[in-house]
Amino acid sequence: MKPPDDSSRDAANGLETCPGNGQDREVDSRSLLGPDDKLIIHHEGRRYVLRRTRLGKLILTT
């Protein structure tokens, strides 16, 4: 399997490798949040909710 180059993009997942680094990823918020504009994240035993507000900003709550 060929490693991604600096311009690699996985359109199905909205993931993109950042130029010059190769380890950082960029994710389009619409792909991440889905149609409900909300994502549940489980991290170190805690539950977080990442959501888009009516004004289009992102907010992370526990």
Q: What is the pLDDT of residues 25-54, one digit of tens each?
A: 899 999 999 999 999 999 999 999 999 999
pTM (predicted TM-score)? 0.62
Max Cα distance, the chain (Å)? 42
Give the pLDDT confidence score for residue 16 in this predicted structure: 56
What token pair was written down for 31? 């792909």
Cβ 37 vs Cβ 45: under 8 Å: no
For 20-29, write each residue's pLDDT tens digit. Answer: 566 888 999 9
What domains appear along the chain, each with residue ranges and CATH number? 9-61 (2.10.70.10)
pLDDT tens for 3-22 read 444 444 555 555 555 565 66
The percent of residues in the chain predicted with pLDDT above 90, rounded, is 58
Edge-first strand listing for the sheet containing 9-10: 9-10, 15-17, 25-27
